[in-house]
Amino acid sequence: MAAEDRSKVAPVGASGIARPPRSRLDQPKAPRRRLLPEYDPETFGRFSERIARFLGTWRFISWMTLVIIVWVLWNIFAPTAWRYDQYPFIFLTLMLSLQASYAAPLILLAQNRQADRDRVTYEQDRKQNERSIADTEYLTREIAALRMGLGEVATRDWIRSELEDLVKDIDDRRPLLPAESDEDR
């Protein structure tokens, strides 16, 4: 047999029974097929939020009311052979219970997701407020330092008052000075 033909034949053990080919230890095994299907929690969460959003609308309430009214009227006034749910409307009760048993957890899931989003938003708002407070405190300190610095700087009003005092002193001393002649001017 050629080398190519030997590779196709399963190896035979000492007992003469064919063994499956050995898998290599340096390579990962192929993943097994899961028994349960995988689901994406984010996709399922978005789906539950859409349902919960729809369950909270007047449109849903209107359609549900219409279906129940048609159901009851059909099962009261339709010919007996065509009625599928007699007077105590047990099947209607079962359907409403089934709808409620699915709606409640979906609504709770949507509320939990909204609470998580609110928590993240609250945390971001809190950090932004802390930054704003720190900035405000910094600006307050800077303004206080500028005011203290301006206290040492001559202001326009202070210079004006000093000049007025000097002019007044000069005017008070003028009679004491010798009279100027018109020629000196």
End-to-end CA gap in the chain: 138
Answer whether 57's CB lies under 8 Å from 68's CB: no
Please give the angle made by the CA atoms of 71, 77 and 79, to the nearest 5 degrees. Answer: 105
What range does the domain containing 47 cover? 39-151
- Which range of 48-52, 79-83, 124-128 scores highest in mean pLDDT? It is 124-128
Residue 18 in any domain: the answer is no
Q: Which two tokens mark 140?
A: 């307050």
Residue 129 in any domain: the answer is yes
pLDDT at 180 over 70: no
- Give 80's pLDDT tier (boundaries 50, 70, 90): very high
Residue 100 in any domain: the answer is yes
pLDDT at 20 over 70: no
- Give 147's pLDDT tier (boundaries 50, 70, 90): confident
Residue 14 in any domain: the answer is no
Mean pLDDT of 39-59: 90
How far apart (Å, rounded) are the C-alpha atoms in residues 101 and 86?
23
Q: pLDDT tens digit string along 89-115?
A: 999 999 999 999 999 999 999 999 999
* DSSP 8-state assignment for residue 82: G
Residue 137 in any domain: the answer is yes
pLDDT of residue 100: 95
* DSSP 8-state assignment for residue 1: -
Kindly calculate the radius of gyration of the chain based on its CA atoms and give it in whole angstroms: 47
Answer whether 18's CB lies under 8 Å from 10's CB: yes
Residue 50 in any domain: the answer is yes
Nearest in space to 49 (alpha carbons), one of 112, 122, 119? 112
CA dihedral 95, 96, 99, 101 (to 10 degrees): -110
pLDDT at 53 over 60: yes
- Structurally, how many domains does the chain consist of? 1
Mean pLDDT of 41-61: 91
Which residues touch 29 (CB under 8 Å, ≥6 apart)?
23
Nearest-10 crossing angle of helices 41-55, 58-77: 70
Residue 134 in any domain: the answer is yes
Residue 54 in any domain: the answer is yes
